[in-house]
Structure 1
């Protein structure tokens, strides 16, 4: 039986923009309602640095334009989700470490976009970020389940290369699962920079060595995100994708410039970018029913049984594609969380 693992990156936009209620709370509520109808569970990857920056600012008396307490809203939603059977794990974007609120917006440090190349000592060292992030989530969720343990990490933007320091930090922090790699993926923009093109796409998971992308005998496991090759422009031919892009045009523009600057300098090069092939992750918050049908046909050809899908509440604008996926996989497929897969299949 094929197993789907629905992960949600629970966060604002990477450039610091977005609204907690509009881009996190409300779309997540809609996703949770749909999941409840089909009796499936998500694994939330909770962006913790962003959360503690928001919490610190709110404690100073800065409402950041919110009429309701965004911290209470986040905490209550995650607690309710956990009580309903969903999983909560750790997500980190290091550009938030130096983030500050000024002129009615968050300013993030784009020089520290990649977790793989993050280098600091002391309080904000990589290992201390992991330990603090893990502790914050455990303190929250243990209010309703004293036995809960945060075991998994996802690096922001899939940026875990170079990964040797991350493996060492995960060992010290007590994290045993990473889910940041999507085999076949490659990016060389001014922000994200990684190359997973040599990793076979048919691996369900592996025990890592000194690096996450290599196999070895560390007590840490890589649970990769499923991806398949496609021509870039084809992923934009859906109302879901276009609505999401227009929902936050500045973030979409910044992301496009970051991906294309340096390797696609001229206008013609940027046009050619859309006709190149790339490995596309299975984003159930953005995919139309046509794209889901295509990916379902591709996994039917593989011997592997575990498939990690990734979604972002901030990108969720239409329920049609997601409902189609769940209805098509209602029979013959199983949905599990990361904790369930670790305990039942890996450990």
Structure 2
């Protein structure tokens, strides 16, 4: 069994209550310390377009620290892949309020195609791709769209990714639908698979000539799983809660509509009492896909949402998965599904 510990490497899209060191660089440093201690590989989807905005407003300390930390991540042998948030190119920095003002109309590649055209969308993608290669010194093979938004212009995005040598997408959050002022995705009817190869028209169609889709960890709800899950939730209410300080606030997560037919887990804002829930979900997921040629767990988290309690659970998870399942923690280059 292979596990991808993936992290969206980004600051908050709005007000950052603390500086970028506390929001991004220091939590990432702590993650790296734990990973290196236990000799496991992490995957960082880096928000490359943020560099253009910070450079535009002469916020060079962020740019320099971003590049230094990415170099450190690479030198430690971790995996670095593309996270694409093109709205940064239209963003304005309010230095008085320490706040980025974003126009979310160009939140994703698909939005760029709608609001501009594919030529402009590809030009912006090329800009990000070239910056990525300049910093990371390799071409990415895996892509994660900002806010998991790859719809509706999926055919155009698949074509662009394939033309740039991408092998894999990791944007699909199975069995969920989310609409906000920035985001839109509808994966309610996605394939009920551990991973799949797409066709050239949609990330949700199983085919032979598209990218490999490695979805974010999610497990379809059923009566038995729901009973066990919510029973643990009730028990957890009697456990002592952990406190988390606010590092930032994003305006993109206020849903206009939301539907979820799956359970998932993350190390974001995790508490020690979440361990039993994680064990439950991992066990059920492994049982469901145990006969697949390759079993892949793709767990999504964010350094900006990881605190000391989160890191405790993260380290416990590494040790638990190694002992219980002899798990290998890998990057996208290590997968044998392309």
State the TM-score bracket (shorter-chain normalisation): 0.7 to 0.9
1:134-153 residue pairs with structure 2 within 5 A?
A: 134-142=129-137, 148-153=138-143
> Which of 283, 295, 308 is the equivalent residue of 2:266?
283
For the 8 Å contact 2:173–2:217, the answer to whether it is kept is yes
Matched with 2:64 is 72
For the 8 Å contact 1:201–1:227, the answer to whether it is kept is no
Matched with 1:307 is 297
Deviation by residue 1:23-62 (Cα, 9 ceiling, x = unmatched): 110000000001111111111101011122112322xxx5
Matched with 1:57 is 57
Using the TM superposition, name which of 24-33 and 229-238 deviates more: 229-238
For the 8 Å contact 1:292–1:321, the answer to whether it is kept is no
Matched with 1:267 is none
Counterparts in 2 of 1:180 and 1:334: CA distance versus 1, 3 Å? same
- Distance in structure 2 (CA, Å) of the matches to 1:7 and 1:71: 22
Counterparts in 2 of 1:94 and 1:137: CA distance versus 1, 3 Å? closer
Matched with 2:280 is 294
Matched with 1:340 is 334
Alignment pair present for 1:95 and 2:81: no
Offset of 1:20 from its aligned partner? 1.8
**Secondary structure of the structure 2 residue equivalent to 1:118:** helix
**Secondary structure of the structure 2 residue equivalent to 1:247:** coil
- Distance in structure 1 (CA, Å) of the matches to 2:82 and 2:238: 31
Deviation by residue 1:191-211 (Cα, 9 ceiling, x = unmatched): 322111112343323243311
For the 8 Å contact 2:92–2:100, the answer to whether it is kept is yes
Using the TM superposition, name which of 224-233 and 332-341 deviates more: 224-233
- Distance in structure 2 (CA, Å) of the matches to 1:56 and 1:222: 34
**Secondary structure of the structure 2 residue equivalent to 1:346:** coil
- Distance in structure 2 (CA, Å) of the matches to 1:158 and 1:239: 33
1:105-254 residue pairs with structure 2 within 5 A?
A: 105-119=99-113, 120-121=115-116, 125-142=120-137, 148-162=138-152, 163-229=154-220, 243-244=243-244, 246-248=245-247, 250-251=249-250, 254=251
Offset of 1:237 from its aligned partner? 6.3
Matched with 1:8 is 7
Matched with 1:266 is none
Matched with 1:22 is 22
What TM-score, normalized by structure 1, do the two folds share? 0.80
Using the TM superposition, name which of 72-81 and 115-124 deviates more: 115-124
- Distance in structure 1 (CA, Å) of the matches to 2:216 and 2:199: 15
**Secondary structure of the structure 1 residue equivalent to 2:159:** helix
Deviation by residue 1:208-238 (Cα, 9 ceiling, x = unmatched): 3311221223352212111125689959969
Offset of 1:157 from its aligned partner? 0.9
- Distance in structure 2 (CA, Å) of the matches to 1:201 and 1:15: 35
* TM superposition outliers: structure 1 runs of 4+ over 6 Å: 230-233, 235-242
Matched with 1:324 is 316
What's the Cα RMSD here? Answer: 3.0
- Distance in structure 2 (CA, Å) of the matches to 1:109 and 1:201: 35
Counterparts in 2 of 1:74 and 1:239: CA distance versus 1, 3 Å? farther
Using the TM superposition, name which of 41-50 and 222-231 deviates more: 222-231
For the 8 Å contact 1:10–1:44, the answer to whether it is kept is yes
Q: Which segments of 5 or more consecutive residues in structure 2 lack a partner in the other structure?
A: none
For the 8 Å contact 2:74–2:136, the answer to whether it is kept is yes
- Distance in structure 2 (CA, Å) of the matches to 1:13 and 1:127: 25
Offset of 1:334 from its aligned partner? 1.0
**Secondary structure of the structure 2 residue equivalent to 1:39:** coil
Aligned length in residues: 313
